[in-house]
Structure 1
Amino acid sequence: MPVKTLQIPTADGTSDAFAVFPDDGERHPAVLMYPDGFGIRPVLREIAGELAGHGYYVLVPNFFYRHGPAPVLDLPDYIGEEARPAVFARLMPMIQEHTTDRILRDADAYLGFLTAQPEVAAGPVAVTGYCIGGLLATHTAAAHPGQVGALAAFHAPVGAAGPDNLRRITARIHFGHAGTDLTPEALAELNRTLDAAGLDYTSEIYPGTVHGFTMSDTDAFNAEALRLHWDRLLPLLSGTLVGG
Structure 2
Amino acid sequence: MPTQQIRITMQEGVAEAVLAAPAGAMPKAGVILYMDAYGLRPAMEAIAERIAAEGVAVLVPDTLYRGGRFGPFDARTGLKEEATAKIIRAAMAATTQAMTQADTASFIEALTAHGVTGPIATTGYCMGGARALNAAAAHSGRIVAAASFHGGNLANDAPDSPQRNAARIKARVYVGSAGIDGSFPPEQSAKLAEALRVAEVDHAIENYVGMAHGWCVPDHSVYDREGAERHYARLKTLFAETLGN
Normalising by structure 2, report the TM-score: 0.90
Q: Deviations over 1:174-218 (max 9, x none)?
A: 000112223334322221111111110111211112211111212
2:133 maps to a residue whose letter is T
Measure the CA separation in 1 of the matches of 2:31 and 2:78: 32
Q: Which runs of 5+ in 1 are unaligned?
A: none
User: How far is 1:163 from its partner?
Assistant: 3.2
Q: How does 1:35-54 map to 2 (within 5 A)?
A: 35-54=35-54
Q: Residues 193 and 88 of structure 1: is their aligned pair in 2 closer, same or farther, counting only changes over 3 Å?
A: same
- Greater mean deviation of Cα atoms: 204-213 or 143-152: 204-213
- Greater mean deviation of Cα atoms: 94-103 or 167-176: 94-103
Measure the CA separation in 2 of the matches of 1:48 and 1:82: 24
1:130 aligns with 2:132: no
Q: Deviations over 1:211-240 (max 9, x none)?
A: 111112121212221111112111000110
Aligned length in residues: 238
Q: Residues 230 and 74 of structure 1: is their aligned pair in 2 closer, same or farther, counting only changes over 3 Å?
A: closer
Partner of 1:93: 90
1:73 to 57, 64, 71: 71
1:127 maps to a residue whose letter is T
Measure the CA separation in 2 of the matches of 1:81 and 1:16: 21
1:222 maps to a residue whose letter is D
Q: Deviations over 1:10-49 (max 9, x none)?
A: 1111111010101112534111111111011111111111
Measure the CA separation in 2 of the matches of 1:192 and 1:74: 36
Q: Residues 144 and 83 of structure 1: is their aligned pair in 2 closer, same or farther, counting only changes over 3 Å?
A: same
Q: Secondary structure at the match of 2:63?
A: coil
Normalising by structure 1, report the TM-score: 0.90
Q: Secondary structure at the match of 2:155?
A: helix
1:159 aligns with 2:155: yes
Measure the CA separation in 1 of the matches of 2:31 and 2:10: 19
CA contact (8 A) 1:149 1:241 kept: yes
Q: Deviations over 1:157-185 (max 9, x none)?
A: 22252433122100011000112223334
Measure the CA separation in 2 of the matches of 1:163 and 1:174: 13
CA contact (8 A) 1:135 1:153 kept: yes
Partner of 1:200: 202
Measure the CA separation in 1 of the matches of 2:227 and 2:83: 27
Measure the CA separation in 1 of the matches of 2:41 and 2:216: 14
CA contact (8 A) 2:124 2:132 kept: yes
Measure the CA separation in 2 of the matches of 1:222 and 1:112: 34
CA contact (8 A) 1:214 1:222 kept: yes
Q: Residues 126 and 74 of structure 1: is their aligned pair in 2 closer, same or farther, counting only changes over 3 Å?
A: closer
Measure the CA separation in 2 of the matches of 1:141 and 1:82: 28
CA contact (8 A) 2:126 2:151 kept: yes
Partner of 2:139: 144
Q: Deviations over 1:63-84 (max 9, x none)?
A: 1111222xx22534x6148945
Question: Considering only aligned residues, what root-mean-square deviation do their CA atoms show, in Å?
Answer: 1.9
1:106 maps to a residue whose letter is D
Q: Residues 216 and 129 of structure 1: is their aligned pair in 2 closer, same or farther, counting only changes over 3 Å?
A: same
1:225 to 205, 217, 227: 227
